[in-house]
């Protein structure tokens, strides 16, 4: 919960680089506890805090206590917009890192990880060579890997945009996927090294 209420409602992104309608993430009532759900771009609630009380009713402590202690005006809503990966990350003595270079949807939990990998890679290269060369080497080392997670995150987000009517069936199907298969997928992401 942030300290100010955003009155902004989802709108179509005006940027020509937008690749798909904006979307917003928050827990939905029929979602599993602890996960992020994607809501259609035009979703709006008259009472955001009331929605959260309902949506998170089954969540473990201390979620209910936190919500009870939250003022209605303290709920902040931030819609999330898609933007394609920057065509180039470098301009003269400036280079982009993290979301500025390759924003991605949060569904894989990789945006922050990739930003850290950018920083670590850049620091390593800057210690070894002239900044102009280091910037070029940085982009060439990072671009492909970051783009992979941009695409995978987009896919994971899109899967969540299934119609409400199909959600229970989708969850049943997902529950049937053996845990070791899910773990294998996630560990392939988590264990891939950025410094190959």
Contacts to ligand FAD by CB under 6 A? 25, 80, 98-100, 106, 109-113, 115
Among residues 119 and 168, whose Cβ is nearest to ligand FAD? 119
Separation between Cα atoms, residue 38 and residue 10, nearest integer Å: 13
We find the least distance from the C-beta atom of residue 150 to ligand FAD, in angstroms, to be 11
Among residues 21 and 106, whose Cβ is nearest to ligand FAD? 106
We find the least distance from the C-beta atom of residue 165 to ligand FAD, in angstroms, to be 25
We find the least distance from the C-beta atom of residue 110 to ligand FAD, in angstroms, to be 5
We find the least distance from the C-beta atom of residue 113 to ligand FAD, in angstroms, to be 4
Beta-carbon contacts of 25 under 8 Å, excluding residues fewer than 6 positions away, are 36, 37, 38, 39, 80, 106
Among residues 12 and 78, whose Cβ is nearest to ligand FAD? 78
Among residues 110 and 160, whose Cβ is nearest to ligand FAD? 110
**Quick check: 108 and 153 in contact, CB under 8 A?**
yes
Separation between Cα atoms, residue 19 and residue 171, nearest integer Å: 27
Among residues 80 and 136, whose Cβ is nearest to ligand FAD? 80
We find the least distance from the C-beta atom of residue 168 to ligand FAD, in angstroms, to be 24
């Amino acid at each position: 919960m942030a300290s100010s209420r955003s009155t902004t409602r989802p709108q179509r992104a005006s940027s020509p680089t937008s690749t798909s309608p904006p979307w917003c993430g928050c827990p939905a009532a029929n979602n599993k506890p602890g996960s992020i759900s994607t809501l259609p771009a035009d979703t709006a609630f008259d009472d955001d805090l009331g929605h959260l009380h309902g949506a998170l009713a089954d969540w473990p402590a201390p979620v209910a206590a936190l919500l009870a202690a939250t003022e209605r005006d303290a709920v902040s809503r931030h819609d999330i917009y898609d933007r394609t990966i920057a065509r180039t990350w470098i301009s003269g003595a400036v280079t982009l890192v993290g979301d500025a270079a390759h924003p991605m949807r949060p569904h894989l939990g990789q945006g922050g990880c990739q930003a850290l990998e950018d920083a670590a890679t850049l620091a390593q290269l800057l210690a070894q060579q002239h900044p102009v060369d280091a910037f070029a080497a940085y982009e060439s080392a990072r671009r492909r890997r970051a783009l992979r997670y941009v695409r995978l995150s987009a896919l994971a987000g899109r899967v969540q945009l299934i119609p409400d009517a199909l959600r229970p069936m989708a969850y049943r199907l997902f529950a049937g996927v053996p845990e070791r298969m899910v773990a294998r997928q996630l560990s392939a992401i988590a264990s891939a090294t950025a410094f190959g």
